[in-house]
Amino acid sequence: MKYISETENSEKLAGPAFTTEAGSVSAVPWLPILMYHRVVDGLEGSNPYNLSISLDRFEMQLRYLADRAYRGLTLEELAGKLDSGDKMPARSVVITFDDGYKDTFTHAFPILQEYGFTATVFLVSGHIGESSSWDAGKTDASPLMDRSEIFEMARHGIDFGSHSRTHTSLPALTRDEARNEVAQSKTELEQLMGRKINAFAYPFGGATPWLQDIVRDAGYSVACGIDQRRHDRFNLSRVDAAAYTGALRWRLNVTGTKHRLRQSPLIRRLKSALTAIG
């Protein structure tokens, strides 16, 4: 299936301008931050929580971006732009992978290289080289990347961030327990990589205000949540790329049309009116 072409207008969009007042990130036009988990040979049966995307569809999505001259950024680069107040290059995109599955190395990495994109991979520091025990009950646990695979990706410009120490639901913890998950993961990954770890992604998307404070206080520069209305520095909204198999829905999300419609006061009033009627 071929994706629908961009309109003349969207092809001419300038890079987004960011402000950082009170930790808020304002992005107009849209900067897509794509969220992936597993990239697999083929999808058979159920796909709970859109954890997997097929190899063919992943390549199709990257080809779409490459054909439209999108430029890949790491979250490290995004944080630098936020700090400096500089505009993003036109048609920038951030590609992220949660959990550090082995197929991020075996399947996604070669395609990223083929199309010239970088990415940020969020690692669970206490389970490197093991398996995704947190998937139990939703799907089978899957192998995670080991140190040598992480180092090989880093050698080719792939960025790494933290996805906590054990991939537990942080809002369910006490503040001290959550602080330990967030801070200890940063320490462990910095010792592993020999460099600063500046990006964090909330397990299961749980990003309460007090957790955002903990992440900021631990020394991270940015943090990623999941698809949402708000787009803040410590709760960046992401496009759940595996969820969009249709051409139109994919384009609406990547170009930010969906996000802008959700921000529209008119659309909100219409939704409220329809809710009141029905």
pLDDT in tens, 102-115: 999 999 999 999 99
The yes-or-no verdict on residue 20 having pLDDT over 80 is no
Domain boundaries along the sequence of the chain: 16-277
pTM confidence score = 0.85
What's the maximum distance between 2 C-alpha atoms anywhere in the chain? 59
The yes-or-no verdict on residue 225 having pLDDT over 90 is yes
Could you report the per-residue pLDDT of 73-104, keeping only the tens digit for each? 999 999 998 888 888 888 999 999 999 999 99
Residue 7: predicted pLDDT: 30
Q: What is the mean pLDDT of residues 150-176?
A: 97
CATH code of 16-277, in short, is: 3.20.20.370
Residue that wins the pLDDT comparison between 7 and 97: 97
Residue 274: predicted pLDDT: 66
